[in-house]
Amino acid sequence: MKQRIHYRELEGGIGFWVLLAGFGVLIALGLASVHYMETYGHWVTGMTNQVVWGIPHVFAVFLIVAASGVLNTASVASVFARTPYKPLAPLSGLLSITLLIGGLAVLVLDLGHSDRILVAMTHYNFRSIFAWNIFLYIGFMLVVAIYLWFNMERRMNRYIRPVGFVAFVWRITLTTGTGSIFGFLIARDAYDSALMGPMFVIMSFSFGLAIYILVLMSSYAGSGRPLGDATLRRLKNLLGVFIAAVLYFLAIFHLTNLYWAQHVGVEEFILFGGNVYTWLFWGGQVLLGGLVPLALLYSPATGNSRFWIAVSSVLVILGGLALVYVIIIGGQAYPLDLFPGKAVSSTFYDGVINTYTPSLPEILLGISGIAISLAATMVAIKFLPFLPVSLKDEVVEPPATPPAPATAEAHA
């Protein structure tokens, strides 16, 4: 017999409000940092004329990429019609909007002229992938909002699949666009690759799902609602596939560059330079953000443990931040090659490895982006019925009639 899924606003006790207040403090600190940077100028940050995008962009790009990826569960439910994912879809859609808002907030607040946001909304240069992204971001939020409406409004449920399909195509386009911001930078050896678009898509799958798992687990643990093992098992298996896919794309990306004489310099700098980027890449992304969570998620000893699934998700997020740091900061740290075959020097730091040390205001601004995303999510699930009352295995995937034990195995 089919059981209906019941959604309800989060109950939330004192812990909820304390956590929300904590995020509020982080947001306030971020805004104070913005005021400080806007008043004195960007020289108070670690950013320079050499490294023009700093740690705020790392957080912003990470959140924007994750925003697209967190829609995974909704896409699996609507586009691929997998019933067990349907109860997970509303939170998935909600997070995709809130993460995008958090990422865009950081991006906008780091502009030299944040006050000209209306200019950015009214002047467009359609040759710029950046301009296209503005459309993609705004459109994404609209499409997902419609998706959520159709999902939560029973009369509109029948149209959910086409809207889900549009959202799916939109998110792939959006993340390809975000990756292409770097891929289209022909002058910089660290970027300039068509692989950036698809690599960002697969990165989004991994980062977004890790965030989704953590938010889901903490929401249900915090509110005392039941969360079945089968749901978590499905998600963690999917996460494992995405982690492996990110490693695959990274391998292809770097191997291709190593084969190309022009890019060997930057590859040696990142992969074997013995600098912070080398450590973040091998230690942060490949080991802690890739191989370790893969082992944890698929090892029989840890793969079914909620604790280790949560640890794996945290590692994927930290590894993701490390990867984005290497891409954005590492790519700028390596100097432009104006005159191939010649050593170049000047008073403008030509030909030298550029240094970058994140300043406290930048870090606070970046963290405030995460706080904005999570605070908005908390408020939404507190006042709107995004979360199912129960995600017990038998509720998420009721046994078919007559019961067939092999079915449950297949879905797992």
**Residues near another protein (CB under 8 A):** 38, 40-43, 47-50, 52-53, 111-113, 116-117, 119-120, 123-125, 127-131, 133-134, 181, 184-188, 332, 336, 338-339, 341-350
**CA angle at 252 for the pair 247 and 255, rounded to the nearest 5°:** 120
Cβ closest to another protein, residue 5 vs residue 31 = 31
CB of 61 to another protein, least distance (A): 13
CB of 113 to another protein, least distance (A): 5
CB of 333 to another protein, least distance (A): 13
| Lookup result for tokens 């963290």 | 367
Euclidean distance between the first and final Cα of the chain, in Å?
20
Structure tokens at 92: 């998935």
Cβ closest to another protein, residue 49 vs residue 401 = 49
Residue 188 exposed, middle or buried by CB count within 10 Å (0-12, 13-18, 19+): middle
Element (H, E) at 65: helix 55-69
Cβ closest to another protein, residue 30 vs residue 56 = 56
CB of 339 to another protein, least distance (A): 6
Cβ closest to another protein, residue 187 vs residue 410 = 187
Cβ closest to another protein, residue 42 vs residue 86 = 42
CB of 336 to another protein, least distance (A): 5
Q: Where are the alpha helices (DSSP H) in 70-195?
A: 72-78, 89-109, 117-122, 129-152, 160-183
Cβ closest to another protein, residue 112 vs residue 226 = 112
Give backbone dihedrals phi and psi of 79, rounded to 5 degrees, phi first.
Answer: -75, -40
* Exposure string over 326-336, b if 16+ CB within 10 A, otherwise e: bbbbbbbbbbe
CB of 340 to another protein, least distance (A): 9
